[in-house]
Copies of this chain bind each other. A is one copy, B any other.
Amino acid sequence: MRGRDLTGDLMGRLTFTEYFHLLLTGEEPTDDQRFFLDLLLVAIAEHGMMPTNVAARMTLAADPDSLHGAVAAGILGAGPVILGTSELCARLLEQTGASGGDPAAVVREVRASGGKVPGFGHPVHKPFDPRAERILELADARGVSGPHVALARRFADAVVDASGEPLTMNVSMPIAAVLLDLGFPASAVKAVPILARTAGLLAHLAEEQEHPVGFHMARAAEEAVEYER
C-alpha cells in the first residue's frame, strides 16, 4: 500500500480510521487529523430511518442473500439532497477563500439567481444542529479552527441576515470547514460521509436480518400514497 508493508507494519498498528486517511491522502494522519476524522465519521454514520436506510432494508427484504446489493442500493441515495452537500460546502469555502470573496456578497448572488447556499437548513434541528455545534466547539477547543471554519461562520451570519430568519447551519458545513482546515483536498471531502453512511447502512441491515421490517415498511409506504389519492 503506497510503498508500505501491510502485514509487517500497518496491520495491528494503524486503526481503520488512520488507514483510511493513509489510503485517501497518501499520508498517515497527525493526532488532530485522526481525532477529527473519527469525530466526523461518528457524527454522521447513523441517521435513523432516513430514506436511504428504508430503501436498503426493502432491497434486502426482496433479495435477502445479497447484503452488498442492499448496501449499494442505500448508498445510491447518498446524493446532494441527503448527504452530498459536504462537497458543495467544501467547494464554496475553497472558492470564496481563494478569491478573497465576501460571504455576504456570495449569499446575495446565489439567492438572486434562485439558488440555495449549501449547508444551511434542516427539517428537524432548528435553529441549531447539535452535531454542527459540537464539531465547531471541539475544533475551537483543540485549536484546529482556521480560515475555513471562520468563513463558515461568516456564511452562517450572512445567510441569517439575507433570509431574515434563523436558518440552521447543518452538519455538512462544519464537516467541510474542519476537513479543509486540516489539509484535506475538497475532492476528498465527500468520501467521509459515504464511508460513515456505509457503516450506518450495515448496522440497519444487520438489524433487518434479525428483525425484518422491510416489507412492512413498503406496505405502509404504499398505503400512504393510496390513501392520499
Contacts and interface: CB of A to CB of B under 8 A. Distances in A.
Nearest to A80: B63
A196 to B, nearest CB: 8
**Number of identical monomers bound together in the oligomeric complex:** 4
A52 B62 CA distance: 8
A129 to B, nearest CB: 9
Contact of A81 (B10, B61, B77, B222): B61
Report whether over half of chain A's contact residues are helix, strand or loop; otherwise say mixed: helix
A54 interface: yes
Contact of A76 (B72, B131, B133): B72
A100 interface: no
Contact of A59 (B1, B76, B205): B76
A17 to B, nearest CB: 5
What 6 pairs between A and B have smallest CB-CB spacing? A63-B79, A220-B224, A23-B203, A217-B221, A62-B77, A49-B222
Interface of A: 1, 6-8, 10-12, 14-17, 19-20, 23-24, 35, 37-39, 41-43, 45-46, 48-52, 54-56, 58-59, 61-73, 75-84, 87, 130-131, 133-135, 138, 187-188, 190-191, 194-196, 198-200, 202-203, 205-206, 209-210, 213-226, 228
